[in-house]
Chain A
Amino acid sequence: DAMVIQNPRYQVTQFGKPVTLSCSQTLNHNVMYWYQQKSSQAPKLLFHYYDKDFNNEADTPDNFQSRRPNTSFCFLDIRSPGLGDAAMYLCATSRDPGQTQETQYFGPGTRLLVL
């Protein structure tokens, strides 16, 4: 029944060591989002894909990249994680951004720890 799946749920990496977080969806939604959520803060949108079109938020650091090889999968790559990148990373999907009332469905998140 899982609709938005994130792996792993917990990820530990070393300072400066590249890390990839993955997200998959069984909803066949057009749009996939990546959010960063730090402790006791609101989720902050990093970027999103509408199909294959990539949309980067203006304040997302270059250190964060994303790939979407197909409809079902989306990856978040952190090229050189810093201590400040430790956070929960949430993946979400929605069917069509043109339908602005469309609900976003969130995955359970991946908690990233940087040592």
Chain B
Amino acid sequence: GAGVSQSPRYKVAKRGQDVALRCDPISGHVSLFWYQQALGQGPEFLTYFQNEAQLDKSGLPSDRFFAERPEGSVSTLKIQRTQQEDSAVYLCASSSLLGETEQFFGPGTRLTVL
């Protein structure tokens, strides 16, 4: 069956550009998460959606980062005025249940800011 998909897989941006990263979770999954993974590190929590509601955005590094999930399925992570320190892999994950359950990760978007 279809897993979590993300697009684009790779994105190169010039410093100062805006970028938008898309996540298609597994159909019917209630919970959606965004993580940032720097090279050699574990994924770091950015934000959490339960259906269309963004319940936690405490991990977003700055107000340049914005995420939405308007219809409770597809989600977009937007980064405005990108900086070099934004370079990382951005992972999306979804889970079917609320609470402490298995998360299914997408392949990630590797963002490089020049």
Q: Tell me, yes or no, whether A binds B.
A: no
Point out residues on B near A: beta carbons under 8 Å: none
